[in-house]
Amino acid sequence: MSFKQFDKQSETKPEIKSENKSEDKSEIKPNTGKTAKPYSIEVLELGPMENFIYLIKDTATSRTAVVDPAWDTQAIMLAAKKNGMTITDILLTHSHHDHINGISDILNQYDAQLHLTYAEEKFWGDSHTTPTLHHGGDTISIGSTDITVLHTPGHTPGSACYWFDNQLITGDTMFVYGCGRCDLAGGDPEQMYDTLRALKNDLPGNTNTLPGHNYSVESHCTLEQQIAGNPFYHIKPPEKFVNFRMHSHDQYRQSPYQAIAASEMDIFKE
């Protein structure tokens, strides 16, 4: 697996303004020291599983993509209204219930197009929507903001990350200092091993990773920080990774996850 067809242009990590956990939220805006970018990102933490829902607004057109709408859809639509956003697209990282249970409410209020990968649509098997399906490497344009679909299997067969301007929305593929479960239907720890290493090898180190849940001491971090502090990057070969993900990890770690250096991994030895 490789994402090397994508341009590794270097960008400065944007400034993030965060407020209280479980309240609303933060907004990601371009760093004011650089030329203004054509988008902004509003972040909401919603629901009993601490989901992060992202609203990506194209500044010029107000077209907005919401990623994984779930739980409190009134809060999502209120945030959209408050920020002058028109929801035109729904991007799914995967089809687990905690990431999709707000889709119907959004579609009832907005003429929005649903996007997911071919592999996830086959896994999901939902017959109530007519989505636009994508392969890894496809581009979704939200106004002048181009978002690249990365097919990142492991948590589910068709899991996707969304990459644009050095922002990487990871869903349940990668949390800050963690990764998604692989013991649910469709999960595959060997695919997760390959996916994480493809992200490491093929994306810039200053990529800003934006996870699907607030399971860590930080709400986001760079890929470089993930490589240094995420224990799933320290485990190899693949068979040891599989054992760690499927058996050992949850015995030793609980959220909120903290960074663990490679030199500290001996704490997980049984």
Residue 92 lies in a domain: yes
The verdict on residue 101 lying in a domain is yes
Characterize the bridge pairing of strands 51-58 and 221-222.
unpaired
Cβ-Cβ contacts under 8 Å for 42 (sequence gap 6 or more) = 25, 26, 27, 28, 54, 55, 57, 79, 83, 85
Distance between CA atoms of 47 and 40, rounded to whole angstroms? 23
Q: How far is CA 108 from CA 84, 94, 111, in A?
A: 19, 21, 8
Does 33 have pLDDT greater than 50? no
* Residue tagged 């905690």 (tokens): 98
Q: Per residue in 10-26, pLDDT tens?
A: 333 333 333 333 344 45
Give residue 4's pLDDT: 60
Collapse the DSSP code of 46 into the 3-class scheme (helix H, G, I; strand E, B; otherwise coil) and give the result. Answer: strand
Q: Could you tell me what percent of the chain has a pLDDT over 70?
A: 86
Q: Note the pLDDT of residue 176.
A: 98
1 in any annotated domain: no
Give the bridge partners for 115, in sequence order.
91, 132
CA distance 106 to 112: 8
Of 211, 229, 119, the residue nearest 172 (C-alpha): 211
Contact 42, 54 (CB under 8 A): yes
> For residues 264 and 50, what is the distance between their CA atoms, to the nearest angstrom?
28
CA distance 50 to 215: 7
Residue 201 lies in a domain: yes
Q: Could you tell me if residue 2 is inside a domain?
A: no
Q: What is the pTM of this model?
A: 0.89
pLDDT, residue 14, reads: 34
Domain with 195, as residue range(s), is 15-268
On whether residue 8 sits in a domain, the answer given is: no
33 or 38: whose pLDDT is higher? Answer: 38
Average confidence (pLDDT) over 246-263: 94
Rounded Cα distance between 229 and 143, Å, is 36
Does residue 66 form part of some domain?
yes
Rg (the chain; Cα; Å): 18
- The CATH number for 144's domain is 3.60.15.10
The count of domains in the chain is 1
Peptide bond preceding 237 in cis form (omega within 30 of 0): yes
Amino acid at 209: T
**Residue at 5 is within a domain:** no
259 burial via Cβ count (<10 Å: 0-12, 13-18, 19+): middle
Where does the pLDDT of residue 136 fall: very low under 50, low under 70, confident under 90, or very high at 90 and above? very high
